[in-house]
Structure 1
Amino acid sequence: MTTTELAASAAAVRRRRRLAPYGFLAPAMVLFALFLALPIGYALYLSLRTVKVSGLGLGKGARTEIWAGFTNYTAALTDPEFIASVVRVTLYGLLLVPTMLGLALLFALLLDSRRTCGKGVSKIAIFLPYAVPAVIASLLWGFLYLPGVSPFYYVFEKLGWDVPDILSAQWVVFAIANIGLWGGVGFNMLVIYTSLKSIPSELYEAARLDGASEIGIALRIKIPIAMPSLILTFLFSMVATLQVFAEPMTLRPLTNTISSTWSPLMKVYRDAFTRDDIYSASATSVVIAVATFVLSFGFLLLVQNRAFAQESRS
């Protein structure tokens, strides 16, 4: 081979090596485009459209899709049902997230303590509810909430206790939050516990030599070092709260206190599949997605110095 041919061959090899990573990424990029990017783009397109009805709306050409601009967004943001659903989900999050993360942190600290017995069984017992699908968990708790079939209400009645209906309008948000709490504590506990197990044992030994108690070690060593995991679990919990759907949707047939627009995603479902208004549903979906992104990104900006301090020092 001539020098020119050798140079061309080497250039071709280098070109193939540069393109090889993109070949491995191609399947993921195609799937991302087909099942995430395109649906998002289509939802954005639909949110800017609406249907113009002519006459009675019957016959060919009676319903025409036209450009609507930001009309659907204005209607979504000023809809009293949407605003009420946001208020309910906010109350739900205020009840659920602090309680869930507080219990997860407490259980993680207890499991990480050297004085705790039966750690293996305890970890499985705490984590097991997370493995139960949300729909099944909601059905299980739903029947436990019903006074006519719940064994708890039977025991309360025999004891002469006057217990309110947990599915009443006053208490239903607590009922839904309890299902999320039951299923979410185990996952968050496991994340925090894994972070605690990565702390060098020498720190604990040095603290004990200095006379620190187990509570002092937890407050001054374990919790500060596990703070990035706490921030991560808070972010996941906040996003899950904004997207609550399965629990109220499953409990809805059991009570008339949960409306079809109890949460924002339930309103999207009603508009799209009950009222057949995919344009309004798309606009509401985009609003929820943007709100989730803004809250998540804003929270990360607020705590980035705390969350990524260790990475910055390394």
Structure 2
Amino acid sequence: MAVTRRSWTGWRFAGPFLAVFALVYVAPIAYSFYLSLFRTRLIGGTTFVGFDNYVQAVGDPQFWSAFGRVALFLAVQVPIMLFLALLAALAIDSGRLYGTGFFRISVFLPYAVPAAVAALMWGFMYGAQFGLVGDLNDAFGLSLPDPLSAELVLLSIGNIVTWEFVGYNMLILYSALRVVNPSLYEAAQIDGAGQLRIVWAIKLPALRGALLVATIFSIIGSFHLFNEPAILRNLAPNAITTYFTPNLYAYWLSFAGQRFDYSAAIAIVMGVITMVVAYAVQLRGMRRGALS
């Protein structure tokens, strides 16, 4: 009996988490997959169509247009954001930055601003007719380009996301730097190594694992891009279409088009793509020893 009681001890600890995990994670995914196997028509009602919705999604030009847009966003915005976060983390860890505590909280503070508030705040600053850009044009007789135009809106969204998440990624990188053995710095200084050499030979190798984690989080966040374009669409309806990002496309299919089944298929396809890309990046990082 004692052996039996010990064998159930772990399940008692893990049981509450597993129950909540199944309820809020596994069950919605399972229901979405079930929903994606059906199609609702005005005539004929709801019918089982198997994987027809997935076949339609694979051949949907609007879906691939949205996917290409977030892929471009990822390729440009994520490296810039992580580079800025790396510079901020190295500056704080150097010990030579004046007002380190104020600088750290200033960089991190935008992450505490809700995404909806950040998008609205920047959206009204971007406005060429009603916002800061428009006021500058009127006050100084300038002709600044409209940040909410179709050509620049993706760049404007990238600026918002970078402003929001540089501090979050800085904290990840700075935490990794804080666990580096100080004796390594002392030994390098005794050998005559300068600050740049210490950064290159000690700090950057120590940040490989943290950079990999931050990269994976950023990849997932880029593919899940929704809040900023959804809110800015009210300010720039001609620049941000209903299929601007895959998540926005799934949202409009579901709540505006009442195509819940096809929306579920789009969401699952995008989830699988995100999982594959994130796993490929993680596998590549592990092969390079980033997590060793």
TM category, shorter: over 0.9
Matched-pair contact (CA < 8 Å) for 1:167–1:255: yes
Check the 8 A contact 1:73/1:284 in 2, yes or no: yes
SS in 1 for 2:146: coil
Cα distance in 1 between the residues matched to 2:192 and 2:140: 49
Counterpart in 2 of 1:107? 88
Q: Give the whole-Å Cα distance in 1 for the aligned partners of 2:106 and 2:69.
A: 31
How far apart are 1:307 and its partner, in Å? 4.2
How many pairs does the alignment contain?
291
Instruction: Give the equivalent residue in structure 1 for 2:190.
Output: 209
Secondary structure of the 1:66 match is strand
Structure whose alpha-carbon radius of gyration is higher: 1
Structure 1 residues 33-42 or 290-299, which shifts more?
33-42
Match of 2:10 in 1: 21
Three-state SS of the structure 1 residue aligned to 2:47 is strand
Which AA in structure 2 matches 1:292? T
Query: Which deviations, in whole Å up to 9, do the C-alpha atoms of 1:22-81 show, x marking residues without a partner?
Result: 122222222122221111111111111112543xxxxxxx52x22212210111111111
What's the offset of the Cα at 1:152?
Answer: 4.5
Aligned mates of 1:20, 1:210 — CA distance in 2: 53
Q: Does 1:281 align with 2:263?
A: yes
TM-score by length of 1: 0.89
What are the within-5 Å matches in structure 2 for residues 223-234 of structure 1?
223-234=204-215
User: Percent identity of the aligned residues?
Assistant: 36
Change (3 A) 1:52 1:139: closer
The Cα of 1:309 is off from its aligned counterpart by: 5.3
Q: Which residue type is aligned with residue 13 of structure 1?
A: A
The 1:53/1:153 distance shift into structure 2, 3 A limit, reads closer
Shift of residue 300, structure 1, vs aligned partner: 1.2
Q: Which runs of 4+ in 1 moved over 4 A?
A: none
For 1:188, the equivalent position in structure 2 comes to 169
TM-score (normalised: structure 2): 0.95
Query: Which residue of 2 is the match for residue 150 of structure 1?
Result: 131
Q: Aligned partners of 1:151 and 1:142: how far apart in 2?
A: 10
1:267 correspondence with 2:249: yes
Partner of 2:284: 302
The residue that corresponds to 1:59 in the other structure is none
Q: CA shift at 1:279, angstroms?
A: 0.8
Matches within 5 A, 1:1-314: 12-54=1-43, 62-63=44-45, 65-256=46-237, 257-308=239-290, 310=292
Unaligned segments of structure 1, at least 5 residues: 1-11, 55-61
Name structure 2 gaps, 5 residues minimum. none
CA distance in 1, matches of 2:268, 2:132: 43
1:57 match: none
